[in-house]
Amino acid sequence: MRIRGEYRRERDYREWVLDHNLFLNPMNDFDSSNIVAHDPLVLPDMIVDIEKGFPKFISYFNQIKQEYIAYR
């Protein structure tokens, strides 16, 4: 399996994460190739009232995702 990355440590890390299915990618359950070696998990499209402002749950979701990736 060929993991992309500029540095050897980055490639080793990405391979370790891939081997342990820690990417936030639903395809982790079906495949362990290079194609799932990223974190594409996002919220679905939604319509909100512009007068109520930016929905806070989007910010919370992004923060949870970033913290998971940092601790990973």
Position 46 scores a pLDDT of 82
Position 29 scores a pLDDT of 81
Q: Per-residue pLDDT for 6 more than 80? A: no
Q: Per-residue pLDDT for 25 more than 80? A: yes
Q: Per-residue pLDDT for 18 more than 70? A: yes
Task: State pLDDT tens for residues 26-65.
Answer: 888 888 788 888 888 888 888 888 788 778 888 899 999 9
3-state secondary structure 37-63: CCCCCCCCCCCCCHHHCCCHHHHHHHH
